[in-house]
Amino acid sequence: MVAVEKPGPGRKLGRIRLGLADRPNTLGLVAFATNSVMPGSTIHTAGARMMRRLSELGYTHEYATGYNAPDPAAVLPGVHLTASLLKRRLTGTLHYGVAEHQLPYYLDEFTFRFNRRNATSRGLLFYRLLQQAVHTDPHPLDELLDPFSNPYL
């Protein structure tokens, strides 16, 4: 699952979030979206039916299907670009040497590197990590092991 922030007009991409789905076209997509995107935001999707629940959960949901689009690559270009960069990393750098149990760690690493690509103060990483640890509520072990479980769905 891929979520890409669009900070403004133009082709510039913001931060990304990546996740693994158990199966395609399940409610895991909705849980991923609600965990990755702030309520009240506008979400553009590829038209999966279960994603239409997002409008009931406080999001502005807009969708476009790539099947009948004149240019399928123009539908969600940030998602396609991010996915192609991830595939290039997995095939070029790792030479297809990713085991299934390692994939979440590689996705986290790719997300971290992508989101830090324009950072001007890389030395503040440890400071930001401590700051986030102090400002977030404690999480039970079950929530840490399954971060995409959402009790509201």
Q: Residue 97: its pLDDT value, please? A: 83
CA distance 151 to 143: 11
Query: Rounded to the nearest 10 degrees, what angle do helices 103-115 and 77-88 cross at?
Result: 120
Residue 75 lies in a domain: yes
Residue 150 lies in a domain: no
User: How many CA atoms lie within 13 Å of 59's alpha carbon, on the beta-carbon side?
Assistant: 23
Q: How many domains does the chain have?
A: 1
Q: Is the pTM of this model over 0.95?
A: no
Cβ-defined contacts of 69-75 (< 8 Å, 24+): 75/46
Q: Residue 148: its pLDDT value, please? A: 65
Residue 151 lies in a domain: no
Return per-residue pLDDT of the chain as tens, 153 residues: 999 999 888 888 999 999 999 888 888 999 999 999 999 999 999 888 889 899 999 999 998 887 777 887 788 999 999 999 999 999 988 887 888 888 999 999 999 899 988 877 767 777 878 888 888 888 788 877 776 665 544
Residue 153 lies in a domain: no
SS3 60: strand
Q: Residue 149: its pLDDT value, please? A: 62
Q: Residue 151: its pLDDT value, please? A: 55
Domain of 49, in residue numbers: 2-145
Question: Considering only CA atoms, which of 82, 51, 83, 45 is closest in space to residue 66?
Answer: 45
Q: Residue 66: its pLDDT value, please? A: 77
The DSSP string of 89-112 is: IIIIISTT---GGGHHHHHHHHHH
